[in-house]
Structure 1
């Protein structure tokens, strides 16, 4: 049904149909408090009957806001990223906002291109898993009122909110778990060393070994791309030879998957703890012991910080670290040969 004038129904039409004031309709449409449940239901019934749709162009002119935010991830297809994205979308929906998402593929130029494209489309704020080392390009956008919150990794060179996992602490706990089960020669297979999460997890590995008064042979550390060929080569080098490692700590889910694929071909199985949980990890034989992040908490926390900024929070930039959790399933509890 259209309005009595045959044109697109307005909030005045909804108010007349529901028998309430215009301000009441505005509060219901914009998700504001101060309206009783019964009255809100009357307004929603009138909205459904008339086919009313909020005019976001008018809202933009009135408030300067587009009711939209943008999320830049490394790869939306990655399970960690998809869980993070769902959490952000849930908070955005609570706020009546749309979420736009893009993947940088770990390319700083692509990240910059996407971020500025979203800003050109006047999103209200940005959530970014940073790919590059220089985010100075965002300073004019932030100065003009578009806040940016960084997830998973901090933004080098600018003061901005950062919502991170306890990467070093989680890696320290995972490696200490292997040490408690008798391992002294523990290999570390990580991502590219310049990536913040990779560097922090390597720091946690070193700290766990130092706390147990164990030396670290630099040959036990294999950092590089998450390409399966590179991971297979690293695993072969670490687990073969005259003095192989007896356990592996794999520093993210893609490295862990690459290691599992290769170890299945080798037959012999060192103890293994991975950083990041994997779907069906409990169905492996033995089950995969992991240091699990909480991507949902990361995403939801970052989104709430962003909406706080949009609501007028001008406090100094925050760094919030979300705890990890060791999940014991069997692979990290395998004893060393002869142990």
Structure 2
């Protein structure tokens, strides 16, 4: 700023007044300061300015487990749109589902003095947050409630969505319904499996372990697991999948093997409506999840003078979308 002032032949205070939009500065001096700023390539250090004024850094940290998953792109857009209204910026990092990388990311964001963190937990225990986070730094977890640490969270109705989709398949006449899911340690997969089981039990059906495949984390492993289900002497007439990677893997298996079955699963995806098999999708709005997480953070960042509320849990509702005409099994494959 001193260099700008020297080049413009004004005081550093005049430079400061021009940069903050003070209209009392004369047009001549304003033009000289702006020309000097342009010539020197000066950029205001917002971080240093905020620190000097006792403010935060104006940034929110987002930690996700898989940047390749379109869900996280939508989540980030929802958060960014909400925090931008407050003049905040979003920083994103990826853990690839590794708990050590998650802890390192928390430590890194703490060191960067972010104003708050939105976390998609990779592990089942977040007790370490008490050690790594500065006192008062708000955290909101997404897709999984925090364990071992008190924090706000935003969840999808995983159980209800799986229960409704499986019930829809049962109402269409399916009795042999396969299950393709992510690892049991993943909260969403566990809740969606619980919804699948509850719907079968309510229909008077037991759980056939031969029809259950859990642990698929990508499309290739989902395709292999689906192929094993389709190779059974009595293959499933429908398959419920816990995410879009499992759904697409199952579809590939059906295509490669020349089989037919109804698919149902969480997460809508592009071209679901043009697949050659009926697809039921448990849909929800990832942008809304991001917005709700940002709202919880903003409330923590704007103290009202009253005691902070206890940790809050927001659950985003799901809906069922039917792509394709017939949801029922072929007569010779009903399994009845």
The equivalences for 1:1-339 within 5 A come to 5=10, 9-11=15-17, 14=20, 16-17=22-23, 53=44, 55-142=46-133, 144-286=135-277, 288-312=279-303, 314-330=308-324, 333-338=327-332
The answer to whether the 8 Å contact 1:271/1:336 transfers is no
Q: With structure 2 as the length reference, what TM-score do the two structures score? A: 0.85
The answer to whether the 8 Å contact 2:66/2:72 transfers is yes
The answer to whether the 8 Å contact 1:170/1:325 transfers is yes
- In structure 2, relative to structure 1, the CA distance for the partners of 1:211 and 1:9 (3 Å cut) is farther
Q: With structure 1 as the length reference, what TM-score do the two structures score? A: 0.85
**SS at 2:128 equivalent:** helix
Deviation per residue, 1:81-130 (Å, 9 max, x gap): 10101111111211101110001100000111111101101001110000
Query: Which has the larger displacement, 209-218 or 115-124?
Result: 209-218
Root-mean-square deviation over aligned CA pairs: 2.6
Pairwise CA distance, 1:141? 4.7
The answer to whether the 8 Å contact 2:178/2:236 transfers is yes
Pairwise CA distance, 1:133? 2.2
Pairwise CA distance, 1:148? 0.7
Query: Which has the larger displacement, 256-265 or 56-65?
Result: 56-65
Pairwise CA distance, 1:237? 2.3
Pairwise CA distance, 1:337? 3.3
- In structure 2, relative to structure 1, the CA distance for the partners of 1:240 and 1:65 (3 Å cut) is same
Give the distance between the partners of 1:220 and 1:283, measured in 2 at CA. Answer: 26
Query: Which has the larger displacement, 52-61 or 123-132?
Result: 52-61
Give the distance between the partners of 1:88 and 1:109, measured in 2 at CA. Answer: 24
Deviation per residue, 1:279-338 (Å, 9 max, x gap): 121122245320012111111100110111111261000111100110011277142433
Give the distance between the partners of 1:210 and 1:287, measured in 2 at CA. Answer: 24
Give the distance between the partners of 2:316 and 2:200, measured in 1 at CA. Answer: 23
The answer to whether the 8 Å contact 1:178/1:332 transfers is no
Give the distance between the partners of 1:287 and 1:245, measured in 2 at CA. Answer: 14
**SS at 2:174 equivalent:** coil
Pairwise CA distance, 1:163? 0.3
Query: Which has the larger displacement, 119-128 or 327-336?
Result: 327-336
Q: Give unmatched runs, 5+ long, in structure 2.
A: 38-42
